[in-house]
Structure 1
């Protein structure tokens, strides 16, 4: 995600086993072996997908694209009886329609199988056995095999039905950008389904984010090594450390709080996180005088007010009156409403929540003036 590149690079460094780590725009590259690939899929909190580049080439027209794809042996990654799909990201003046580039890539792959074996594998866009990723910048193409399959933010604790849940990867990124650690009391007074709080609890107890996930793209690869994966999985479970955490939150919507607590039970986190139904105005932290607020204020119907600016004024009043001594981190895409917080931001970070440009701002809540 935009704005989390350095955070992801730091995660790779801490995980161990990665070399030649480099940050790019909305991606981080590194080198590692098969065991590291498995560990990365299990443990990385701020990665959306882990792609393995297998073929790089130059193409400026559809025939060149087709010919270059035909040069590579795709049977190394895809069996005849398996289904596949091609995701694509194209930034090229030579290929105006990204779907057409993906179509030509697909044609070359299936034609290669047909020439070699007389038959071709089928395409399944929704749930392919093997997912390829086609990336182009100008005339430089890279085809990768997707080791993750579905995006890695799908941890498995999400309860369906919530209108605008925060992406789990973004929530983990906010906590890391804010510098939160398990010794700091954490509060989200507008927590919705509790994504920020659940990610914090998993971080605080060293629970691998994808421990409960069953499906990964690499499990359908020809070189899948189940014994090695089981070893990585066992190491992940052995590294969990149950710790007492001061993590709490609240929301005014009762149904949302019910979903949040169901999610906590799924991952056995009810001892680590407390989420209750409470209006923002009445929310007071369990630990007074020190801690951190990390929150993404709701908007639209869930506010229950007609004036968003007034709501942000209420947020600032509650933070100043009830959370003295805390550092408050607030993320929002509403730049106009931000002005009504009536607090001075000591740090501002630009992030994206989907297509929405947001700011993630830090407020130090002193009693009286800072001086």
Structure 2
């Protein structure tokens, strides 16, 4: 890849390996895993492709400088030393977001203010005019990251978090983040190899992300805009070419995705979002209570769902609720790999089944577990006895 430079993709805890694999599959060079980040090398076209196609990335940052700093004066001088005219002119607007993990710098707001002063002063001295701050719709979003005494300045190529896919206009109570949904699905081994079911679908996010993975549809195809579209080097022809090539890699999906929820309002919202994502051909949505219905699909089934948790569980009897999940899986879903995410670790004890996998994840600030239950046809014991006879 000619004209390659280093970039950083931010992600959730526990998704770093998934993101690294996605990057390698897309063609990134020198992929390196960090804590909630993955760094890699690529050119301008690859930056566009990463924003368009990555499912488990929250942001793609382009570092433009790093330096060891000991105090606020060092920070000011470092920011001022950057040639900002490469990235914006004096009539543009900008916003600064700082992340600070340091004993020297305690407040991200202070770091943002110092950075703003340095940029403004630089333009005033060189041009006699200054760019303005606009936190809502900036022409350039600048990211400052300080880890102890190492300061990295990056340009945010994404803008709003990449979980804003663009298809979700209707949400239910506590909807699952789209990047979290995609990461859960990839962790579960979902690639579109069977029928799929989400029996507690809420506003339909897991079902939509499952269909996009199965069909290899670029994750952010429906997104309205990316921050790089306002950059001075924005190349619309190149972006359209990359979008066209990515769409040629979309594949057929020969199974069905079933989504259901017992709440009529959730079903309405899910249908609306599925229409927005142009995925109505792949996803069937209906009003249904998971605890009262049994499997109506043929062949193996891959199930992933996000049961109510936290505040939503306060109206529920935890022991009874999780017990019902276990009963429904045992009685209605033989031959199914069932995965669900929960932040109620106590509740897992009442499922009455032993999970074959447990993966630590975070849903917002809540620590949770993604658990897998393998539901065998007949009893597990019978299955192994049969294997031995063979």
5 Å-filtered alignment, 1:310-329, equals 310-329=320-339
Change in CA separation of 1:306 and 1:271 when aligned onto 2, cut-off 3 Å: same
Q: Within 5 Å, give how 1:109-148 maps onto structure 2.
A: 109-148=119-158
- Is the 1:250–1:283 Cα contact (8 Å) retained in structure 2? no
Report if aligned partners of 1:289, 1:323 keep a CA contact under 8 Å in 2.
no
Cα distance change on mapping 1:290 and 1:243 into 2, 3 Å:
closer
Conserved 8 A contact 1:187-1:285: no
Aligned to 1:7: 18
Query: Cα deviations across residues 309-368 of structure 1 (Å, max 9, x unaligned)?
Result: 211111110011111111111110001111111110111110111111110111111232
Query: What's the C-alpha RMSD, in Å, of the aligned pairs?
Result: 1.5
User: Counterpart in 1 of 2:353?
Assistant: 343
Q: 1:305 to 1:67 in 2, by over 3 A?
A: closer
TM-score by length of 2: 0.92
2:179 corresponds to 1:149: no
Measured after TM superposition, the shift of residue 305 of structure 1 is 4.7
Report if the CA contact (8 A) 1:159-1:260 is conserved.
no
Assess if the C-alpha contact under 8 Å between 2:99 and 2:146 holds in 1: yes
Deviations 1:237-258 (A, max 9, x none): 2222343332112101101110
- Structure 2 distance, partners of 1:42, 1:318, is 38
Question: Hey, what does 2:292 align to over in structure 1?
Answer: 282
**For residues 315 and 366 of structure 2, what CA distance do their matches in structure 1 show?**
22
Distance 1:215 1:163 in 2: 26
332-341 vs 237-246, which moves further: 237-246
Could you tell me how far apart the structure 2 residues matched to 1:104 and 1:350 are? 37
Residue 9 of structure 2: aligned partner: none
Q: Which residue of 2 aligns with 1:354?
A: 364
SS in structure 1 of the partner of residue 124 of structure 2: helix
Q: 2:92·2:139 contact (CA, 8 Å) conserved in 1?
A: yes
Secondary structure of residue in 1 paired with 2:94: strand
Question: How many angstroms apart in 2 are the aligned matches of 1:157 and 1:117?
Answer: 42
CA–CA distance in structure 1, aligned partners of residues 41 and 187 of structure 2: 25
Moved more, 275-284 or 301-310: 301-310
Q: Does structure 2 conserve the Cα–Cα contact (< 8 Å) formed by 1:333 and 1:357?
A: yes
How far apart are 1:14 and its partner, in Å?
A: 0.6
**Structure 1 position 12, deviation (Å):** 0.5
Unaligned runs of 5+ in 2: 1-11, 385-390
How many residue pairs match? The answer is: 370
Partner of 1:45 in structure 2? 55
SS of residue in 2 equivalent to 1:349: strand
Aligned-residue offset at 1:287: 2.2
Could you say what secondary structure the match of 2:356 adopts? strand
Structure 1 Cα separation of the partners of residues 294 and 256 of structure 2: 13
Alpha-carbon offset, residue 296 of structure 1: 1.1
Superposition pairs for residues 24-39 of structure 1, below 5 Å?
Answer: 24-39=34-49
C-alpha separation between the residues in 2 aligned to 1:292 and 1:316? 16
Is the contact between residue 299 and residue 308 of structure 1 (CA under 8 Å) also seen in structure 2? no
Question: What are the superposed Cα offsets for residues 182-210 of structure 1, whole Å, 9 maximum, x if unpaired?
Answer: 12221111111111110010111121111
Offset at residue 288 of structure 1 (A): 4.1
**Which structure 1 residue ranges, 5 or more long, are not aligned?**
none
When normalised by structure 1's length, the TM-score is 0.96
User: Could you say if the C-alpha distance between residues 281 and 303 of structure 1 is closer, same or farther in structure 2, counting changes exceeding 3 Å?
Assistant: farther
